[in-house]
């Protein structure tokens, strides 16, 4: 029976059992796997993200096709699972840290590189700037569900997230959202709540938390894709294009951010927890999810 390799990896952390866990599934060359099977495996794994990599020998412009699934649905971009994918490819000897990895995705071509040694990995993503939300009803529902009385700014990104600037890092850390109410706000993937810190040498420039109950994730430990909006937002306000971010979830994680020519470069480390294999479906049989 054909199998695929699995890698359980913690991303945006240099230590195990922190950062954001992802399951990386390295598929063999050949036709794409059945999307229903991929969704079923992601639901069974039940991590915030399961990512699938398929070699693209027939495509000279890309090395792999990449697809991301939450326990509930496929998404167009996921930062921590992309970081985990590169880490898996490097540590398994499939790709060399000295060469870029070119990924074909629903968000266009993504390029991943590693600094010497391969520990710090950089991802080149499209920026998704937030535009101010004009609907007072939507603003009020978001603030109420988050337990916030007010916000300095509420904006919506092209990925369907709401970015909310709170008044302080303490406010962000102390949030106790109503996840059911958040999940019922229409056309919203998730909620990135953020605040500026005092910064300083080695300290983060801003903090955030990310909630996505509509995707089956009440709180995501570290959300790379959200930083495609957070980094441009804070770069403009702080006046710096090179920023250090901290996601202050229970597990916590560090994201290095660079805003370059309308793109957001995200950097981080990752740690492998375990490796395994999974049987591939034969005959493309249906999978109920």
- Where does the pLDDT of residue 58 fall: very low under 50, low under 70, confident under 90, or very high at 90 and above? confident
Find, among 18, 92, 83, the residue nearest to 51 by Cα.
Answer: 83
Model confidence pLDDT, tens digit, residues 24-37: 999 999 888 899 99
Least-confidence region, from 38-52, 145-159, 194-208 = 194-208
| pTM for the full predicted model | 0.90
Is the pLDDT confidence value at 213 over 70?
yes
From CA 263, how far away is CA 228, in angstroms rounded?
8
Is the pLDDT confidence value at 216 over 90?
no
The CA-atom distances, in angstroms, between 216 and each of 48, 71, 119, 237 are 8, 6, 30, 32
Find, among 206, 219, 222, 234, the residue nearest to 268 by Cα.
Answer: 222
Structure tokens at 257: 């951010």
Domains located in the chain, CATH noted:
3-120+269-279 (3.10.310.10), 131-265 (3.10.310.10)
Residue 283's pLDDT is what? 61
Looking at the DSSP bridge assignments, the partners of residue 268 are 121
Is the pLDDT confidence value at 227 over 50?
yes
Q: Which long-range contacts (CB under 8 A, 24 or more apart) does 172-176 make?
A: 172/207, 172/208, 172/209, 172/248, 173/207, 173/209, 173/248, 175/146, 175/147, 175/148, 175/209, 176/147
From CA 178, how far away is CA 124, in angstroms rounded?
34
Find, among 158, 168, 102, the residue nearest to 129 by Cα.
Answer: 158
Model confidence pLDDT, tens digit, residues 192-208: 999 999 877 789 999 99
Is the pLDDT confidence value at 191 over 70?
yes
From CA 228, how far away is CA 77, in angstroms rounded?
10
Is the pLDDT confidence value at 289 over 60?
no
The CA-atom distances, in angstroms, between 226 and each of 54, 128, 171, 245 are 25, 9, 19, 11
Annotated active-site positions, please?
49
Structure tokens at 132: 């101010």
Model confidence pLDDT, tens digit, residues 73-129: 999 999 999 999 999 999 999 999 999 999 999 999 999 999 988 789 999 999 999
């Amino acid at each position: 029976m054909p199998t695929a390799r699995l890698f359980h990896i913690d991303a945006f952390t240099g230590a195990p059992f922190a950062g954001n866990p992802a399951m990386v599934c390295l598929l063999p060359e050949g036709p794409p796997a059945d999307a229903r099977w991929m969704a079923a495996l992601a639901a069974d794994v039940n991590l915030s993200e399961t990512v699938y990599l398929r070699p693209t020998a027939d495509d000279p412009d890309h090395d792999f096709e990449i697809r991301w699934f939450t326990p509930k649905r496929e998404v167009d971009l996921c930062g921590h699972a992309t970081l985990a994918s590169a880490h898996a490819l490097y540590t398994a000897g499939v790709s060399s840290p000295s060469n870029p990895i070119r990924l074909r995705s629903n968000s266009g071509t993504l390029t991943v590189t590693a600094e010497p040694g391969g520990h710090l990995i950089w991802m080149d993503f499209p920026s998704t700037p937030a535009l101010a939300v004009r609907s007072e009803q939507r603003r009020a529902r978001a603030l109420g569900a988050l337990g916030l009385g007010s916000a300095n700014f509420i904006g919506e990104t092209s990925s369907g997230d709401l970015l909310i600037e709170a008044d302080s890092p303490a406010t962000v850390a102390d949030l106790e959202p109503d996840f059911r109410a958040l999940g019922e706000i229409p056309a919203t993937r998730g909620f990135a709540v953020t605040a500026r810190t005092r910064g300083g040498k080695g300290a983060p420039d801003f903090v955030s938390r990310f909630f996505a109950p509509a995707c089956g994730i009440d709180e995501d430990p570290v959300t790379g894709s959200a930083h495609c909006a957070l980094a441009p937002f804070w770069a403009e306000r702080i006046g710096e294009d090179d920023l250090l971010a901290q996601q202050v979830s229970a597990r916590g994680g560090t994201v290095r951010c660079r805003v370059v020519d309308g793109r957001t470069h995200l950097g981080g480390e990752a740690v492998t927890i375990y490796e395994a294999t999974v049987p591939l479906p034969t005959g493309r049989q249906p999978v109920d999810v």
